[in-house]
């Protein structure tokens, strides 16, 4: 029996098939081996199918989904921007999210909770979109649903970087977040609003790094600060939990809490806190240095005319004449203060400017574009009206209007800014290049014609404007001004390209002033007006070029190269209610839905900008790092599947 049991089971069967104990032992050993191998294969299959694999050394422990933490984070993100405008919350908003990311597992319910709470925050922040027209409810819901995806994606990618690839939190979270902000600014026509760095617009020293890497670099610093706060708060909480009660029973109970905060203990976490503090300090030091280097010199004296005319997708047919009269009246009020340039907001001159190519004859117009009579194309009334207003003002003018240009294929319709000089008349025009989806054109209209039924019935045929070809410079006196229209001043790469493309580096002549013509009457005095101004202020820092904004219903403003929103030297109340400032005297809030004329000498900035010269190098670097992370993770998963496939193939003969 001893010899038999020590031999292999196959030998025992060959030599003594009638031995019951030997037969049972051999069958039991074989079945145990096969069962163990099958269990191992099943474990590998389950592990491969799991959305996020668990680290080998981390036990699966029941964890809450994190609804409370994520709700707190969503509220802070909303409150950091207009209308509450509590920018300090931008430093705290991601602390609960970073705590959840540090868990050993990131479950599907947690990611679902992140999406739902982020969706609620986005809906609250973007509620102003619905005000223009009932048709905009669909765009509001769609954009909020899209933007809500970024938080769970951020959590997923940061979790992978920290737990799978052992990247420090201080590196992983800021790099991933900036890469996602960069993607958000470009995908689906781009939406560069509500960047984390925008919450710090009041802290001028903090936002000066925008001239290095755009507002994205401010977001990087704020996220790094959030990482430091998350690490420090976790260390303090762990210390409190461990010292709350000295009894043995309490120590045993609190031992369950210790693993949650192990990531915040040790020298590595302490080093990250110190590095984050150094980064914030260095950013502030750079801000103080750059502000001390500013040597502002007087530029053109500009008058910003602001009417108060709510807008909608279906315009009022009878508002053109009163709108024109109101703007002429406020221009007359401003002329008494002798401005060099007068600016009217976007489309506030309601009659179109016909611009026929010089080589087109009357026969060409009649044959190619019969929609409008030849007499209409050749009518000079609009041009004479514009030139007459400019000459009466004794100042140059930049007016927002619609331009119609005939071509062989169609009549091009542009959202334009007309340049007028009292000495030469109509001196040029800028046609808007970056159109607003659903407001100025219908996305995918040619591919999916049925989308036009989401528009009001009056606009279902012939809706949409055409894109301009390039930036235009308006030169008057010794100043060079470049206009951007509507939401173009919220697109960092577009404004950077505009300023860079029209700067004359050979003669050392940069753009002196960015002029924004906008119509925020669509949003009826909502938080959009403040957030639009806040977002635009970063363009001044990024390009080191002052920006002036003439905005229907508000908020018109002057912004210097430091990003400071300046008070006008003269404020004229177009409503005759005795106002003397664009802000509420008691609260300091900006006035909205008011008529006014604001006049100020624009301070010109002689500093240069790395961002204008080299563009989005910083965000490209962050995106490259995230792309490397995704590539490494893809390779790892392919290798894991190959190993799984190999293990299954090897296990099949043993199972048979």
User: Residue ranges per domain, the chain?
Assistant: 2-49+640-655, 67-293+617-639, 297-444+463-614
Q: Within a 10 A sphere around the Cβ of 288, how many other Cβ atoms?
A: 12
Q: Which residues contact 496 (CB under 8 A, 6 or more apart)?
A: 214, 542, 543, 611, 612, 615
Contact 104, 235 (CB under 8 A): no
Nearest-angstrom CA–CA distance, 596 and 574: 4
Q: Phi/psi of residue 598, each to 5°? A: -115, 135
Fold of 297-444+463-614: Nitrilase/N-carbamoyl-D-aminoacid amidohydrolase (3.60.110)
Give the per-residue pLDDT at 653: 62
How far are the Cα atoms of 440, 452, 461, 463, 487 from residue 445, in angstroms, in the given order? 12, 7, 11, 10, 21
Our CA dihedral for 264, 270, 271, 276, rounded to 10 degrees, sits at 80
Burial per residue of 25-48, b for 16 or more beta-carbon CB atoms within 10 angstroms, e otherwise: ebeeeeeeeeeeeeeebeebeeee
Give the per-residue pLDDT at 647: 77
Nearest-angstrom CA–CA distance, 335 and 392: 9
Give the per-residue pLDDT at 386: 95
List, as one string, the DSSP characters of 309-366.
----SS--TT-HHHHHHHHHHHHHHHHTT--SEEE--TT-S-SPEE---TT--HHHHH
Q: Which residues contact 149 (CB under 8 A, 6 or more apart)?
A: 115
Q: Within a 10 A sphere around the Cβ of 277, how many other Cβ atoms?
A: 14
Nearest-angstrom CA–CA distance, 490 and 472: 18
Give the per-residue pLDDT at 240: 75
Mean pLDDT (10-residue bins), the chain, 656 residues:
41 42 50 62 57 40 77 97 96 96 91 96 95 84 96 97 94 98 94 96 97 97 97 86 57 49 84 96 98 95 96 69 94 96 96 93 92 92 95 96 93 96 94 84 60 54 80 94 96 95 68 96 94 97 97 96 97 94 92 96 95 96 96 90 80 60
Peptide bond into 83 cis (omega under 30): yes
**Beta strands at 596-604 and 557-559: parallel, antiparallel or unpaired:** unpaired
Give the three-state DSSP class for 603. strand
The owner of tokens 């119609």 is: 404
pTM: 0.86
Give the per-residue pLDDT at 297: 95
Compute and round to an integer the Cα radius of gyration of the chain.
32
């Amino acid at each position: 029996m001893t010899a038999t049991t020590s031999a292999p089971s196959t030998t025992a069967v060959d030599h003594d098939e009638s031995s019951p104990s030997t037969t049972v032992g051999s069958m039991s050993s074989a079945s145990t081996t096969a069962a163990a191998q099958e269990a191992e294969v099943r474990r590998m299959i389950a592990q491969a199918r799991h959305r996020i694999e668990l680290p080998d050394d981390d036990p699966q422990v029941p964890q809450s989904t994190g609804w409370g933490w994520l709700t707190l984070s969503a509220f802070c993100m909303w409150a950091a921007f207009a209308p509450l405008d509590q920018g300090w919350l931008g430093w705290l908003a991601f602390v609960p999210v970073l705590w959840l990311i540090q868990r050993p597992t990131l479950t599907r319910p947690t990611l679902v909770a992140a999406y739902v709470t982020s969706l609620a925050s986005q809906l609250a922040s973007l509620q102003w979109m619905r005000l223009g027209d009932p048709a905009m409810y669909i765009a509001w819901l769609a954009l909020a649903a899209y933007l809500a995806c970024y938080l769970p994606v951020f959590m997923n990618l940061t979790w992978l970087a920290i737990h799978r690839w052992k990247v420090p939190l201080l590196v992983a979270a800021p790099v991933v977040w900036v890469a996602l902000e960069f993607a958000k600014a470009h995908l689906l026509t781009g939406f560069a609003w509500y960047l984390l760095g925008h919450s710090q617009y009041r802290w001028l020293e903090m936002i000066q790094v925008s001239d290095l890497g755009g507002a994205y670099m401010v977001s990087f610093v704020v996220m790094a600060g959030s990482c430091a706060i998350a690490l420090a708060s976790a260390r303090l909480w762990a210390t409190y939990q461990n010292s709350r009660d000295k009894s043995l029973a309490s120590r045993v109970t609190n031992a369950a809490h210790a693993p949650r905060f192990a990531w915040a203990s040790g020298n590595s976490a302490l080093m990250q806190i110190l590095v984050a503090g150094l980064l914030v300090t260095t950013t502030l030091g750079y801000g103080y240095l750059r502000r001390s280097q500013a040597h502002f010199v007087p530029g053109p004296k500009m008058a910003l005319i602001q009417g108060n005319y709510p807008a909608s997708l279906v315009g009022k047919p009878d508002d053109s004449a009163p709108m024109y009269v109101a703007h002429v009246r406020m221009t007359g009020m401003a002329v008494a203060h002798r401005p060099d340039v007068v600016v009217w907001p976007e489309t506030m001159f309601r009659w179109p400017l016909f611009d026929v190519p010089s080589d087109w004859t009357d026969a060409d117009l009649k044959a190619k574009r019969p929609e409008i009579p030849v007499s209409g194309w050749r009518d000079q009334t609009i041009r004479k009206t514009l030139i007459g207003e400019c000459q009466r003002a004794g100042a140059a003018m930049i007016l927002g209007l619609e331009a119609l240009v005939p071509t062989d294929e169609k009549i091009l319709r542009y959202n334009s800014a007309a340049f007028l000089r009292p000495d030469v008349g109509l001196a040029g025009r800028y046609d808007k290049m970056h159109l607003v989806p659903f407001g100025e054109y219908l996305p995918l209209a040619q591919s999916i014609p049925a989308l036009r039924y989401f528009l009001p019935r009056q606009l279902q045929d012939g809706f949409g404007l055409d894109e301009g070809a390039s930036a235009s410079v308006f030169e008057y006196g010794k100043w060079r001004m470049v206009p951007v229209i509507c939401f173009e001043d919220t697109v960092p790469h577009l404004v950077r390209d505009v300023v860079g493309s029209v700067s004359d580096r050979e003669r050392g002549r940069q753009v002196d002033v960015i002029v924004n013509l906008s119509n925020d009457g669509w949003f009826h005095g909502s938080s959009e007006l403040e957030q639009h101004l806040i977002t635009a202020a970063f363009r001044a820092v990024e390009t080191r070029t002052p920006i002036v904004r003439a905005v229907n219903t508000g908020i018109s403003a002057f912004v210097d190269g430091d990003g400071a929103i300046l008070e006008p030297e003269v404020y004229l109340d177009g409503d005759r209610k005795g106002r003397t400032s664009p802000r509420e005297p008691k609260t300091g809030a900006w006035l909205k839905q008011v008529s006014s004329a604001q006049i100020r000498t624009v301070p010109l900035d002689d500093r240069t900008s790395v961002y204008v010269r080299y563009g989005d190098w910083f965000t490209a670097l962050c995106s490259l790092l995230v792309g490397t992370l995704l590539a490494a993770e893809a390779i790892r998963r392919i290798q894991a599947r190959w190993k799984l496939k190999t293990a299954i193939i090897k296990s099949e003969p043993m199972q048979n």
